[in-house]
Amino acid sequence: MSKNQYVIGVDYGSDSVRSVIVDAANGEEIASSVYYYPRWQKGQYCNPAANQFRQHPLDYIEGLEFTIKDCIRLAGGDEVAKAVKGLSVDTTGSTPVAVDSTGTPLALTPGFEENPNAMFILWKDHTAVNEAAQINEHATKFDTNYLKYVGGIYSSEWFWAKLLRIVRVDKGVAEALHSWVEHCDWIPFLLTGGTDVKEIKRSRCAAGHKALWAEEFDGLPPDEFFSSLDPILGGITAKLFKDTYTSDIAAGNLSREWADRLGLSTDVVVGVGAFDAHMGAVGGQIEPYHLSKVMGTSTCDILVAPSADVEGKLVRGICGQVNGSVIPGMAGLEAGQSAFGDTYAWFKNILSWPLNNLLAQSTVLDAQTAAALKEELAEAIIPELSRQAALLPIETSNELAIDWFNGRRTPDADQSLKGAITGLNLGTDAPRVFRALAEATCFGAKSIVDRFVQEGIPVKGIIGIGGVAKKSPFVMQMMADVLGMPIRIHQFKHTCALGAAMFAAVVAGIYATVEEAMEGMGRGFDVEYQPNKENEAVYQNRYEQYKRLGEFTAKEIAAKAAVSESSNSVLA
């Protein structure tokens, strides 16, 4: 390998985008930069009470330009820019958008600038719960099981449910829509100067896990499947795609416009995109049958296995199994939890209510001091809760919670489910509730491991990636105890971006395969949590309580929904 060959990895998360420049010879980070979406931070285009979460494409574009230029500046300027050979991108998903014939998101076209339905529909947007339920019911009418490769259950977090919802509720968007495109497909198309939506190279990862694409179906399910679901979808497959590409394939070269904007060369090769957790698994040096958990606002759990090993096996209730979605030549299996860090953030926001709503009215403190105090206390809440919760005894009679605060992703997706907390009394305080919430997220992780094992897919160990994995020893030790297996934490801070950089090194021809890039650029692990055998019995007891409470909660929610539906029918 020649000297000074650099690659760029771009990782789009739920709250921000981060870019890294990496030395392709050894995976060393040369520079990194993070940009928080300004419109998203203001809560624009979102309605959490209605589970509506939308992101404006300008947040993505501005963040892309800022972070890459900032990285180049931090790394030393033009000399570093000249040595950049490749660039790859990962994003959250499924996060699709309606585009026109040129592949431009409708929110960037006249008349749609402030229309949330013309923006990217973030993965955590659950406005399409009813549409997902209809897809699941509709699929039972066909001899071919079109849901077989997505665990048998379609989710409101995914491609088709969101599309159906948007075209039903917004006639203007439906009429202007020429195609429906994942975020991870649009960014490479943008960077390579694409102008024809039909030329977008669609990610095998996104299409297989979220859009029902399968080799067995020779592409997407037939148009009849969708038009008989709702006539509004008639002809939709002709607007979409048949072929998909693994992320070791080039989407093209950086366009002249974007080369000039970023200060790079048009010789830079841009790779086909993928979802963050899938590239993060590569960055975290995933091994066959080890579960890579990207732990952020949610979790996305990735397992890879030789394709021959899983041939003929279909794992129920996960988020899909797709050949080549992680490492070309291997099967990628995906699961996850809809709320992980979001659960802790929710509780933090509950506790912060007086800080956010009353402190500014204080007659004791001036405005500047009040703002400083608010910031100081907000930063201290989770670390101090973790410290206090770790001191509590682990007992079967402790408060108990269910982690479905944003629905359930795996096992058996159901976004209508809600979180729950039980066992409260007048001695319950914030650390005790926090501990129950932390346990719930760990029990949710165990339910995923159990499902893989029950379906004949062994799980040999856990690889931890992401903000919670790096920042919360309390949660990671608890998870190791609950799972009864070691957890290795990857040392690279921006592991998903590193994975994207590894793919960039492959598309640029620096490495021949993803495995070679992983070996050459992998940075190893800096912490390993071993399970504490003394806690095994009590956590197993607590886990059984968790499952019983979950069953009860699900039944109550279903009963409430049935009563509501019956009442609506009477009113109609």
CATH number of the CATH domain containing 413: 3.30.420.40
Do 47 and 185 share a domain, yes or no?
yes
Do 507 and 364 share a domain, yes or no?
no
Whole-number pLDDT of residue 1: 46
Give me the number of domains the chain comprises: 2
Do 46 and 176 share a domain, yes or no?
yes
Residue 69 included in any domain: yes
Do 516 and 551 share a domain, yes or no?
no
Reported as type and span, the H/E element at residue 293 is strand 290-295
Residue 465 included in any domain: yes
Beta carbons within 8 Å of 416's beta carbon, 6+ residues apart: 129, 407, 557, 561
**DSSP state for residue 187 in the 8-state scheme:** H
Q: Which residue spans within 125-284 are E strands per DSSP? A: 179-182, 250-253, 269-271, 274-275
Do 469 and 508 share a domain, yes or no?
no
Do 447 and 516 share a domain, yes or no?
no
Residue 152 included in any domain: no
Q: Which two tokens stand for residue 25?
A: 């010879």
Structural domain span for residue 75: 6-123+160-206+245-284+494-523
Whole-number pLDDT of residue 158: 97
Query: Model confidence over 292-305: pLDDT tens digits?
Result: 999 988 999 999 99
Query: In the chain, which stretches have pLDDT less than 70?
Result: 1-2, 566-572
Residue 196 included in any domain: yes
Taking the whole predicted model, whether its pTM rises above 0.75 is answered as yes
Do 498 and 483 share a domain, yes or no?
no
Residue 424 included in any domain: yes
CA–CA separation, 262 and 70 (whole Å): 9
CA–CA separation, 233 and 160 (whole Å): 10
CA–CA separation, 317 and 378 (whole Å): 37
Radius of gyration of the chain (CA): 23
The pairing of beta strand 330-337 with beta strand 299-306: antiparallel
Do 255 and 182 share a domain, yes or no?
yes
Backbone angles phi, psi at 87, to 5 degrees: -150, 130
Do 504 and 451 share a domain, yes or no?
no
Whole-number pLDDT of residue 569: 58
Whole-number pLDDT of residue 563: 83
Do 393 and 515 share a domain, yes or no?
no
Whole-number pLDDT of residue 493: 87
Do 436 and 509 share a domain, yes or no?
no
Q: In whole angstroms, how far apart are CA 521 and each of 23, 29, 349, 511? A: 8, 10, 39, 10
CB 332 within 8 A of CB 342: no
Residue 39 included in any domain: yes
Residue 307 included in any domain: no
Residue 400: helix, strand or coil by DSSP?
Answer: strand
CB 165 within 8 A of CB 128: yes
Do 274 and 423 share a domain, yes or no?
no
Can you say whether the dihedral through the CA atoms of 464, 440, 431, 397 is positive or negative? negative
Residue 231 included in any domain: no
Q: In whole angstroms, how far apart are CA 219 and each of 97, 240, 245? A: 20, 10, 12
